[in-house]
Amino acid sequence: MTTLVAPGTPTELRGAGLNSDTSRAIGAWRGDPDWVLDWRAQAWAAWETIPMPTPTTEGWRRTNLRILALDKVHAISDAVAHVTSRADLPASLQKAIDTGFDHGAVLVQENGTTILTEVDTQLAGTGVIVCDIHEAIHRYPELVRAHLGTLVPPRWQPGMPSNAGKFEALNAAFFNGGTFVYVPKNTTVSLPVRSLVYQSDADAAFFPRSLIIVDENARLTYLDEYTSVNTASPDAPPVFGSAVVEIIIKDGGRVDYTSIQEWSLSTAGFLTQRASLGNNASCNWVAVVLGGMYTRGTADVLLQGKGTRADMLGLAFGEGTQVFDFHTLQDHQSPFTDSDQLYKTAMRDRAHLIYEGLINIRTGSYGSNGYQANRNVLLSDTAKADSIPMLEISDNDVLCTHGSSVGPIDQMHVYYLLTRGLPRPVAERLVIQGFFEPVIERIAVDDLKDRVRAAVDRKIGEQG
């Protein structure tokens, strides 16, 4: 068991906005070493320098950022008291954690503070580290410094994948909370390690930054969950935040990564997840996105080593006026690398899906395979999906396919179920569940499949 002893948030920071003083003050309060303070400063400069994306910016053409009210956002929330056991957690978090399967470790974070850390003693004995990111900066400085920001740097660099990195820079300038995981060489963590990031302060932004390092021939199953409260009134500016996850998988390592975003429908947030794979490493990544009025989801795999393999699965269900703005990258940087992506979404009401996925086969990536499929179902005439799969191939002897589809729910499937007496809403839900099932099926751990099915069922309504 490890616990972080953190001082309370300085009262003078309460209500402070997003500016360089607050960025420095958060660093000071966190007791950041100089290199992190410098890092935050660089990030703040990047935030100020990079222009705010507009509807004419490449990659943001379908995005409306006017819903954000960044001038009103508080940079940090009051610290939340730690609890010593699950029983002391707020009821909603207890319920979220208690999903009937065993964990190797659990970290619960509220408003940037890690309020509960549970690490299986056997797991801790193997040298596996699971702790709060700030604690890791102090206790394992070399390990953290060598990896933090290597995939999602504080300042965007030319040639780096994905978009301009503005909101990733914002995360670095204010980062507060996040999970650190290190799995030593040749170590298998069989029970899932779980992180739950909860924002209960609607006025404050959330900026968690997680760093997962899986060393050579090590193996990790990681469940990454995000939830948030609703704003007090529907007219209030949305709950805002930018979360970053870096996953570094060294030679021969494997990560089964499942992330579930269940933000409130009055949350507008950014979630940037990027994984790198060393020689013969592999990852099986399932991204489930259900919440948020606006979600900018960036999911990138960097196939750096030879013989790497990445499976990228995605699932989203939208309702009301939810907007999902997904950008994915399968970046083949070495020979004999495989990536296989399947993103499936269903949108009802006036929900809107944007998907831009790129397979980039770089020079020197001969013998690689890249697959990409984006399937979208529209459940109403007013729902919308813009799907843009892209391919960039700079080497020979590669095999790539990509495809996307947008269409209504298959009425013949629904009809068959109706003829067996299932009322139409039940039949439609069942067809949607069936549509998502091929994605859920590919989650590596059965317990997590059930966790995802439950989340999806909750979202689309219980079966009749």
Question: Is residue 436 within the footprint of other proteins (CB under 8 A)?
Answer: yes
| Interacting span for other proteins (CB under 8 A) from 24-32, 46-54, 108-116, 372-380 | 372-380
- What is the DSSP code string of 148-179? TTSSS-SS--TT-SSS--HHHHHHHHH-B--E
Q: Which residues contact 31 (CB under 8 A, 6 or more apart)?
A: 134, 138
CA distance linking residue 74 with residue 412, whole number of Å: 50
| Size of interface with other proteins, in residues (CB under 8 A) | 33
Measured from the CB atom, is 35 or 415 closer to other proteins? Answer: 415
Kindly state whether residue 400 participates in binding other proteins, applying the rule CB under 8 A: no
What is the smallest separation between the CB atom of 434 and other proteins, expressed in angstroms? 3
Closest approach of Cβ 406 to other proteins, in Å?
A: 9
| Residues 119 and 2: beta-carbon distance below 8 Å | yes
Q: How far is the CB of 420 from other proteins (least distance, A)?
A: 4
CB 313 within 8 A of CB 441: no
Distances (CA, A) of 17 to 77, 111, 113, 128, 334: 11, 16, 19, 37, 43
CA proximity to 452, closest of 271, 258, 275: 258
Q: Least distance in Å: CB of 307 to other proteins?
A: 28
Shortest distance in whole angstroms from residue 326 CB to other proteins: 19
5 binds other proteins per the rule CB under 8 A: no
For residues 161 and 318, which CB has a smaller minimum distance to other proteins in the complex? Answer: 318
Cα dihedral 279, 332, 342, 224 sign: positive
Residue placing its CB nearer to other proteins in the complex, 38 or 410? 410
Give counts: helices (H), strands (E), the chain: 10, 19
- Cα 292 to chain centroid distance, Å, stands at 13
Q: Does 446 bind other proteins (CB under 8 A)?
A: no
- Give the one residue of 15, 127, 407, 461 binding other proteins; rule: CB under 8 A: 407
Torsion-angle region of residue 328: left (phi > 0), alpha (psi -120 to 50) or beta? beta
- Which tokens go with 183? 């799995």
Q: Does 85 bind other proteins (CB under 8 A)?
A: no
Nearer to other proteins, 375 or 451 (CB): 375
Residue 41 binds to other proteins (criterion: CB under 8 A): no
Q: Does 373 interact with other proteins (rule: CB under 8 A)? A: yes
| Closest to other proteins by CB, 84 or 463 | 463
Q: Which residue, chain included where needed, has tokens 């990544």?
A: 285
Residue span 415-434 as binding mask against other proteins, x where in contact by CB under 8 A, dash where not: xxxxxxxxxx-xx--xx-xx
- Dihedral (CA of 49, 55, 60, 66) sign: positive
> What residues line the site for other proteins (CB under 8 A)?
373, 375, 377, 405, 407-413, 415-424, 426-427, 430-431, 433-438, 463-464
